[in-house]
Structure 1
Amino acid sequence: MTDTAVQTLPLTTPMRRPTRRQLLIGGGGLALIVLLMFGLHWLTVGRYMVGTDNAYVRADVVTITPRVAGYVAEVLVADNQRVRAGDVLARIDDRDYSVKVVQAEGIVAAAQAEVAVREARIANLGAQSHQQRSLITGNVAGVTASEADARHAGLEYSRQVLLTRQEVTSAQNLETAEADAKKASAGLAVARASLAAQRDRLPVLATERQAAVADLDKARAALVQAQAALTLARNALGYTVLRAPTAGVVGQRSLRVGQYAEVGTPLLAIVPDDAYVIANYKETQVGPVHRGQPADIEVDAFGGLVLNGHVESFAPASGAQFALLPPDNATGNFTKIVQRMPVRIRVDPGQARAAELRPGMSVVTTIDTRGAAR
């Protein structure tokens, strides 16, 4: 029997490990592809993106301060409470201010009565002037009558003198005619004197009327002052009610019932819902940035959630210019430092969690400078 050797083949063919050269070629190709993709992205998108992490959420926070002093009588809001525009926040004790309003109303009423008295005085002087003109007219008629009587008495006396010379009448008739002539002359003088006195009365009445008009103007000026004082008193009474000037959330509340509030003392703040972002870009970055360009807002507090917005406006100067002590580069040694230019970015409405933005939050903003300026 002949033994036959049987050769068994392996079930699987062993894989050859790539050589170092193949690894280098593959890695280089992959790196080249990644580099090409990155370069393409940078050419088409990346080089137009301008970003900064020096950005924060802001809002036009309104500080509520009283315009009148007094003790706080009632507080109607709590910390972190949402309010609407016009809601009553607190009330200051208004008893003293109510009394001042009543006092001012009394002064106005007295001033109005004084004006009425002055107007009546002017009307009375006008009536007296009219009456005086009527008296003058009557005196003119009286003078005319007296002149006629004096002329008649004079003629009668002349006839009696002539008749006496002719011895036609008696001496008694002559004496009577002479007396009548003198009486008529005296009556004419009295009438003329009365007419002159009545005429002289007119300038006196005119002067009195001018003085009355001046007094009326003074009374009216006092009335205007009294009405202004009443308006101020009513305004002060209205200021005892503190109202929300805008809708928002109450914060930094320090007022308490019974607290004495001074004029201008901050009592609380209203943080409106209309938040925006102030991004401080380097001055070398803002060249291609224009109003209306879209921007991405990455909010740190929301775990990197990105909100959409757009460039709204630019600050008129760098932040250093608004500092308490702005730098003076004309003194001492000079070191050039890139300045920061604040850019205001408006958050587009209607986005998820956009209403949860709070002033002071840190964000990262990226502006797409490919967007056309508006």
Structure 2
Amino acid sequence: MKKTAEVNAEPVVAPAPHVVPAAQAEAVAAPAASAKKKRGPTRLIVMLAVPVALAAGGGYFWLNGGRFVDTDNAYVQQVKVSLSADVAGRVTEVDVHENQSIKAGDVLFRIDPTPYQIALDQAEAGLAAARVNVEQLRVSYATAQAKLEAANLTLGLRQKEYDRKKVSVDQGNSASSALDDVTLSLQTATSGVTLAKQELAAASAALAGNPDISADDVPAVQTATALRDSAQRNLDKTAVVAPAAGIVSQMANLNVGQFVATGTTMASLIKSDDVWVDANFKETQLDGLKNGLPVEVTVDAYPGLKLEGKVDSIGAATGSQFSLIPAQNATGNWVKVTQRLTVRVKLDDPTQAAALRSGMSAMVAVDTGKTTYEKMFGAKS
């Protein structure tokens, strides 16, 4: 079997390679080499021109850009007022509810007025007593005046009696002992005048040195009036009113029957008529920023709303300086961190910001009015 297979097998003959004449090969290679030589400079120029064009275009846009400085680290701010009572007491009435819009002067809640009404009645009684006392002082002053007049009359009579006795003794008509009684009477009258003057001075001092003073100008009456006014104020403060217009919130802690201490915050009031934006710019973005520059503000909650405003002020220090525990960089283990300063933006039309709420995220773009080229060279490109 092996021998038969070998006899029947036909030998496989490989095809002969195609031989190209040398002349024809040179003719084909010549144009290819020529084309290769022609494409070389064009490709190099294109390869160099594209990066140069990109660099030139980027440089142009960089030099003519930089007019707007923006940040998304910005938040809507509104004045937040803590609502508390000026007097202590138990809450008897709550007149507002959570997130209610209120006007200035609206009653928020009331405190039991009974103890303060009693204090007011006592203060008014004290004021009336002080005014009665003033009238008594006037009577005392008039009495002291009458006493002084009587004492002066008595002194005059005693002085005349003494003078007559003295002449009689000097002429030898009476003994010198006759002067003893009249001298004692004269001294007593003199002392009476002195005492009467002291009583009159005391009565005048009680009337603040002015006998004709009005009762309401007497210090004792003024003190009583101040106590009465203080009691009236405390009674009025039992009705806690809104200090400004806005939206009241955090009312959950305020309930009827609850005891309220003086000065304890019971709720918060967000003033809706005073809105601004605090934008925290990097310190590297502050070049060219100044008060009065126009600003465009967009709020994340209302993408289609664009608000116009102006730079109102630039923070006096970075945020880290106002932290409770400022960073201490005196050690060698220190990493430089770009700091941020707060730029306050006032809105031109506050009515457009009626839908804004304190704490909303915003995007702020400040128009510095100068491109990067103008900032660098001081002239327009």
Task: Assess same fold via TM > 0.5.
Answer: yes
Counting only pairs closer than 5 Å after superposition, residues 252-291 of structure 1 correspond to structure 2 as 252-254=250-252, 255-273=254-272, 274-291=274-291
Aligned to 2:139: 120
**CA distance 1:297–1:42, shift in 2 (3 Å):** farther
Aligned to 2:194: 203
Aligned to 1:369: 368
Query: Is the partner of 1:68 in helix, strand or coil?
Result: coil
Q: Identify the match of residue 244 of structure 1 among 242, 245, 249.
A: 242
Listed as ranges, the gaps of 5+ residues in structure 1 are 1-20, 155-180
Q: Letter of the 2:278 partner, please give it.
A: I
**CA distance 1:39–1:296, shift in 2 (3 Å):** farther
Q: Is the Cα contact below 8 Å between 2:247 and 2:270 reproduced in 1?
A: yes
Query: Is the partner of 2:97 in helix, strand or coil?
Result: coil
Q: Identify the match of residue 88 of structure 2 among 63, 69, 72.
A: 69
User: Are 1:140 and 2:163 counterparts?
Assistant: no
Listed as ranges, the gaps of 5+ residues in structure 2 are 1-41, 209-214, 371-381
TM-score by length of 1: 0.74
**CA distance 1:332–1:237, shift in 2 (3 Å):** farther
Greater Cα shift, 292-301 or 84-93: 84-93
Q: Letter of the 2:345 partner, please give it.
A: I
Q: Distance in 1 between matches of 2:191 and 2:262?
A: 63
User: Are 1:193 and 2:192 counterparts?
Assistant: no
Q: Distance in 2 between matches of 1:257 and 1:295?
A: 47
Aligned to 1:169: none
Query: Is the partner of 2:301 in helix, strand or coil?
Result: helix
Give RMSD over aligned pairs. 3.3
Deviation, structure 1 residue 291: 0.4
Q: Letter of the 1:73 partner, please give it.
A: T
Q: Is the Cα contact below 8 Å between 2:148 and 2:200 reproduced in 1?
A: no
Q: Is the Cα contact below 8 Å between 2:275 and 2:350 reproduced in 1?
A: no
**CA distance 1:196–1:59, shift in 2 (3 Å):** same
**CA distance 1:210–1:110, shift in 2 (3 Å):** same
Aligned to 1:354: 353
Q: Identify the match of residue 101 of structure 2 among 82, 88, 92.
A: 82
Q: Distance in 2 between matches of 1:92 and 1:240?
A: 5
Deviation, structure 1 residue 150: 6.9
Deviation, structure 1 residue 123: 3.0
Q: Percent identity?
A: 36
Q: How many residues align?
A: 314
Deviation, structure 1 residue 223: 4.0
Q: Letter of the 2:185 partner, please give it.
A: S
Q: Distance in 1 between matches of 2:264 and 2:196?
A: 60
Aligned to 2:324: 324
TM-score by length of 2: 0.72
Q: Which has the higher strand share?
A: 2
Aligned to 1:51: 70
Deviation, structure 1 residue 75: 1.8
